[in-house]
Amino acid sequence: MNALADLTVVSLEQAVAAPFATRQLADLGARVIKIERPGAGDFARHYDTAVHGTSSYFAWLNRGKQSAALDVKQPADLALVKRMIANADIFVQNLAPGAAARLGLDADTLRADHPDLIVCSISGYGPGGPYSGKKAYDLLVQCETGLLSVTGTAEEPVKVGISIADIATGMYAFSGILTALYERQRTGDGTALEVAMIDALGEWMSQPYLYSEYAGAPLPRTGPRHFSIAPYGPYRTGGNATVFIGVQNDREWAVFCERVLVNPALASDERFVTNSERVVHNAQLTQLIEEALAQYDADEVTAALEEIGIANARLRTMGEFAHHPQLVARDRWRTVESAGGPVRSLLPPVVVAGSREAVMGGIPVLGQHTADLREEFAVTEPVPTAGR
């Protein structure tokens, strides 16, 4: 039995953060009922058309869910949603600020009738404060938390290439829900959770903040290189290839100089003898390293690094990642069904010994389950005030 197989989740969700949290619940076996707008559905369905006509975002975030196309502004559909919630364990929403309360779907209202319900509300900037009603999207929260100020080159800030603010928020919502389930098992009571994007990504920005606050200087933007460790970053080899190298301490630096650069004297050069000096003279260091590596191709360099235990990596394209030898050897790819055809997807990261494999159900068509859910949750008697 999958870990959450006896749980039901109702989610009024859109975009990335909330769907990422509930998809993980679905992978663990929970029944996830996704409420979408009739006609258009979750607007993330239409970010692109890359995956058999649906968006890559939607295909990633919504496998294993049931889709109900309901207009919560209509009394009959809103009553149906409330009926679903009355029979659920978890309710998740990331509606616009104030929208849930106007519909009677805020945590206080719902938990007054259903005290064992876990309600998770996701927002951009949290309740209260001057930004509480401000729209929040991933790039904008990256800006507000200072992430762009530390990402990119000295000349230009650059956004992170994935929806990192949404992902951080979805992960904290997921872990918060699991914590609330554990608490409910002990006490019998549900709870209300608030997860704000600015708080989630703000936590991830703590190290740059601490450096800037206590070093008295902003964290520099250093492109693909590390701002405080050297050598750590990309280095050209023969054949115009690139290998990323991460030397972590002075002992590794000395071995690297002797065995890979074949220049042991470099380790005691006053410009490079400590990590702090190597960072200061990183431009000169990079030139010397690349001159030494130019006589070898990338495979020879990585083999030499592996032999002496120096961390390294190759910069891979998405096509190369899709066939990464480590993922293939560990059988990490599965096929998820969709209306347009099969979708190749990775297993969830956590592997629990002795448990069943993640469910990884199909990607729903908009409103695919509406009729069945209307029949199942038809309001034929008063909505219960407590229990399931």
Q: Which amino acid is at 188?
A: G
Write 310-319 long-range contacts (CB < 8 A, 24+): 310/245, 310/246, 310/247, 310/252, 310/255, 310/256, 310/260, 311/245, 311/246, 311/247, 311/248, 312/243, 312/244, 312/245, 312/246, 313/243, 313/244, 313/246, 314/242, 314/243, 314/244, 315/234, 315/242, 315/244
Three-state SS for 329-372 is HCCCEEEECCCCCCEEEECCCCCCCCCCCCCCCCCCCCCCCHHH
Q: What is the DSSP letter of 268?
A: G
Return all residues near 326 (Cβ < 8 A) that are at least 6 apart. none
The number of helices, as runs of H, and strands, as runs of E, in the chain is 16, 11
**226 in catalytic set:** yes
CA atoms within 13 A on the CB side of 222: 17
Instruction: For the beta carbon of residue 81, count every other beta carbon within 10 angstroms.
Output: 23
Which one from 46, 52, 226, 323 is the annotated catalytic residue? 226
Give 101-163 as a DSSP string.
HHTT-SHHHHHHH-TT-EEEEEESS-SSSTTTTS---HHHHHHHTTTGGGSB-SS-B---SS-
Q: Which residues are catalytic?
A: 226
